Amino acid sequence: MAPQVIRTFSYHYRQKFGHGVGKIPLDLGQPCPNRLHGGCIFCRPAGFTPAYLHSRDEIAAQVDEGKASTLKGRFKKYFAYLQQETCTAVPVEMLLPILRSLLADADCVGLILSTRPDFVAGELLVPLAELVTKSAKECLFELGLQSVHERSLTLLNRNHSFADFQNAVLRIQEAGCFQLGAHLIFGIPGESREDMLFSLKMVCEMGVKHLKLHHLQVMRDTVLANLHKEGKVSLFTREGYLDFLLSALQVIPDEVVIHRLWATAHPEFLLAPKWNCLAGTLSVLLQKQMVEQGIWQGQLVDMAGRK
- Which C-beta is closer to ligand SF4: that of 89 or that of 197? 89
Site string for ligand SF4, 53-92 (x = CB under 6 A): --------------------------------xx------
- Which C-beta is closer to ligand SF4: that of 43 or that of 211? 43
The answer to whether the CB of 176 falls within 8 A of the CB of 147 is no
Q: H helices of 5-54, where?
A: 9-17
- The least CB distance from residue 224 to ligand SF4, in Å, is 11
- Which C-beta is closer to ligand SF4: that of 19 or that of 37? 37
Closest Cα to residue 81, out of 102, 64, 52? 102
* Strands of 106-240, DSSP E: 108-115, 138-146, 179-186, 210-215, 218-219
Q: Which window, 29-37, 187-195, 221-229, 299-307, contacts ligand SF4 (CB under 6 A)?
A: 29-37
Per rule CB under 6 A, count of chain residues that contact ligand SF4: 10
d(CA 302, CA 132): 33
Of residues 224-253, those binding ligand SF4 (CB under 6 A) = none
Q: How many residues does the chain have?
A: 307
Q: Does 32 contact ligand SF4 by CB under 6 A?
A: yes
Q: H helices of 185-278, where?
A: 193-205, 223-229, 238-248
- The least CB distance from residue 180 to ligand SF4, in Å, is 18
The answer to whether the CB of 214 falls within 8 A of the CB of 184 is yes
- The least CB distance from residue 155 to ligand SF4, in Å, is 13
Q: Does 215 contact ligand SF4 by CB under 6 A?
A: no
- Which C-beta is closer to ligand SF4: that of 13 or that of 165? 165
CB atoms within 10 A of CB 123: 11
Q: Does 40 contact ligand SF4 by CB under 6 A?
A: yes
**What is the rounded (10 degree) CA torsion for 205, 148, 127, 256?**
-40
- The least CB distance from residue 158 to ligand SF4, in Å, is 7
Closest Cα to residue 141, out of 168, 174, 106, 122? 168
Q: Which window, 33-41, 185-193, 208-216, 299-307, contacts ligand SF4 (CB under 6 A)?
A: 33-41
d(CA 220, CA 43): 10
- Which C-beta is closer to ligand SF4: that of 39 or that of 187? 39
Of residues 106-165, those binding ligand SF4 (CB under 6 A) = 116, 144
Residues that bind ligand SF4 (CB under 6 A): 32, 34-35, 39-40, 43, 85-86, 116, 144
